[in-house]
Chain A
Amino acid sequence: MNAVVRARRRGRELWSAGPFLAPSLLLFALFFFYPLGKTVYLSFFLTNAKGEAKSFVGWQQYAELFASPDFQHSLWTTLLFVLLTVLPGLLLALLLALLVEKPLRGMAFFRTLIISPVTVSVATASTIGLLLFNPSISLLTYGLKFFGVPDIAWLTDPFWAMISVSLVTVWMGLGFHTILLLGGLQAIPQELLESAKIDGAGYLKRLRHVVLPLLSPTLFFVLVVSVIGAFQSFGQINILTAGGPSRSTHVLVYSIYRDAFFNFQFGSASAQAIVLFAILLLLTLLQFTVVERKVHYQ
């Protein structure tokens, strides 16, 4: 009897739930689940310029991708870009968070300046980058001259183009990563630091044995988030270098963009998107199984 009443009530709540869930479900079906399936589907087909699947080719497009020197180059470029942006960015944000953590008078002002990169978008950051890296009027080059550094072709030299794009990326992320790490630092119990101090531990010792272990969950979180973000970078590359010079900044998402929307190879571009997804999934799992073991949770 009771079960019948409960079942009837659950059935009634299904009817009530419908209208609450319908808008989200409809939008997800149209703009998430359908395209997800479609991307997998397209990756097995040759398509025409309108993006219609024309002939089934199975795994052939994946095989061609991995055999293609251009795609291999894109993968390596992406990896290099991730290495150049994630670790320096994390380290710099950690130093900044330690710097602004001290409760000094007027700290709110400095903190605001230091987290100010959170206000920029990829387009505004890159546009400012265009000004600072501009060959004829670069304040950066001009400033470095004072220190005896010769002129640098920021965006036109393959080596420096990668450095410039990475610089902009690290700077863009600094504010947000500092906010996250500052939050982590402020959550460390003061008693632990005090007792370490009383035991005679100096600043570096406290940093190494108390602060960093307790901060490791936040550091790990920032690591995971910024690795994923770095793999998905697009705007700064499109605006600053357009993948060049000589493909030196031709990262994976840029390659998807070019192949789909300029070469109209929707099938191959879909396969690349699936590869990107697989890489991100693997890396995230790897980070959770390998790196997270070293993370100290309270």
Chain B
Amino acid sequence: MSTLQPALEKTALSPAVRRRPRTKQVTTAAHYLVLLIVSLIIAFPILFALSTSLMTPAESLSSPPHLVPSHLNFTSYHNALQAAPLGKFLLNSVIVSAVIVAGQLLTSSLSAYAFAFLRFPGRNLLFYLFLATMMIPWEVTLIPNYLTIKQLGWLSTYQGLAAPFLATAFGTFLLRQFYLQIPRDLYEAAVLDGCGHWRFFLTVVVPLSRPALGTLGVYAFLQAWNMYLWPLLITNKTGMRTVQIGISMLQNEEQLAWNLIMAGVVLVLLPTVLLLIIGQKQLVKGLLAGSVKG
């Protein structure tokens, strides 16, 4: 019996064993083929935007349309930055995004400290108040916020674009979760040494939480850079538009060729594309961090 068993197994398995490498190769090849086709279809709009941005104006307007430019023509980037004041739009977006990122990092790291390290009356109630701000769709606060900004005379200003986004409950939660992992002993020891809250916060907590601050920073940047409805409402001067508004209005207002508009699109995509290629992990972390919000 014991001598028969391996022989039986061998005969039973052998056709399968012989067939396997061939079928496996074929399925792998098929898998690659499907992957190639599917990934080109999914990435096509972005690749086509890049391709169009390198065409001459005539090529970008021709019918039947060109898929690729006859030769690489980089002048559209130069023209987009100059003629369509895309340079100014980019600058506006950079400033507003930087202010929002800095603001969120500052306000969130401070409030997270209070929730993670301090025990004070009403802490739970406040925590729920913070939570409430995440539950309510922001269309609900949109109209009064617009009226407030208008009353402050902040329409078409950087402060008007950034102000409503400087504090986030989500950032507070993200950082609080991180702070809670900091050993309690460290805090007790610091307090025993007579170290005040501010010194402990600045010299221990902030340096230790750099990874979480990075994630929040990427998330806040993506949000701010891609914002659409708020800057659309708040900016009524061309010179103050953010790049998202600028790019989507190029088509309506000026008779610009598509190569110029697509050059603009590529420039707007640049920061996030770079994040995807160089810091995919950071980008994914930043995006995932935000998804908790829903």
Chain A residues within 8 Å of B, Cβ to Cβ: 9-11, 13-14, 16-17, 19-21, 23-25, 27-28, 30-36, 38-39, 42, 50-51, 96, 99-100, 102, 104, 107, 110, 112-132, 134, 136-139, 142, 171, 174-176, 179-180, 183, 221, 224-225, 228-229, 231-232, 234-235, 238-239, 253, 256-257, 260-261, 266, 269-270, 273-274, 276-277, 280
Contact = CB atoms under 8 A, between A and B. Distances in A.
A10 to B, nearest CB: 6
Question: What are the 10 tightest A-B residue pairs by CB atom distance, in nearest-first order?
Answer: A35-B144, A121-B226, A27-B167, A225-B294, A113-B39, A38-B144, A123-B244, A35-B141, A119-B272, A20-B114
B248 A51 contact: no
A27 B166 contact: yes
B65 interface: yes
Contacts of B52: 131
The binding surface of chain A is classed by DSSP as helix
B120 A34 contact: no
A112 B276 CA distance: 7
Given A51-B143, A270-B143, A119 B228 contact: no
Contacts of A30: 148
Given A20-B110, A33-B129, A114-B39, 13 more contacts: A17-B118, A38-B143, A99-B35, A110-B36, A112-B280, A116-B42, A124-B49, A128-B45, A174-B42, A180-B288, A238-B232, A256-B139, A277-B137
Contacts of A228: 137, 294
Given A23-B110, A99-B34, A31 B137 contact: no
B235 to A, nearest CB: 13
Interface string B153-173: 000000000011011010010
A127 B48 contact: no
A228 B135 CA distance: 11
A102 B27 CA distance: 12
A10 B167 contact: no
Interface string B198-235: 00010000000000000000000000011011001100
B81 interface: no
Contacts of B164: 27, 31
A269 B268 contact: no
Q: Which bracket fits the contact residues of B?
A: 35 or more
Given A14-B120, A17-B120, A131-B262, A225 B46 contact: no
Contacts of B62: 137
Nearest to B135: A281
Contacts, number: 256
B248 A23 contact: no
A204 to B, nearest CB: 14
Contacts of A174: 42
Contacts of A19: 110
A139 B36 contact: no
Contacts of B232: 238
Interface in B229-253: 229, 232-233, 244-245, 247-248, 250-251
A225 B291 CA distance: 8
Nearest to A30: B148
B207 to A, nearest CB: 17
B180 interface: no
A86 B283 CA distance: 24
A141 to B, nearest CB: 9
Nearest to B145: A35
Given A99-B35, A139-B65, A142-B65, A235 B229 contact: yes
A13 B226 CA distance: 39
B34 to A, nearest CB: 7
B170 to A, nearest CB: 11
Given A132-B48, A238-B232, A232 B139 contact: yes
A104 B33 CA distance: 13
A112 B197 CA distance: 44
Nearest to B32: A104
A13 B248 contact: no
Interface string B107-140: 1101101100011111100100110010011011
Contact of A276 (B121, B140, B169): B140
13 contacts: A9-B119, A14-B121, A20-B197, A21-B114, A25-B111, A31-B145, A31-B164, A35-B140, A118-B283, A120-B46, A126-B248, A235-B229, A261-B146
A282 to B, nearest CB: 13
A121 B268 CA distance: 9
A229 B167 contact: no
Given A104-B31, A131-B261, A276 B137 contact: yes
Given A13-B118, A276-B139, A24 B145 contact: no
B257 to A, nearest CB: 11
A96, A116, A270 interface centre (most CB from chain B within 10 Å): A116
A21 to B, nearest CB: 5
Contacts of B102: none
Contacts of B39: 110, 113-114
Contact of A176 (B31, B163, B287): B287
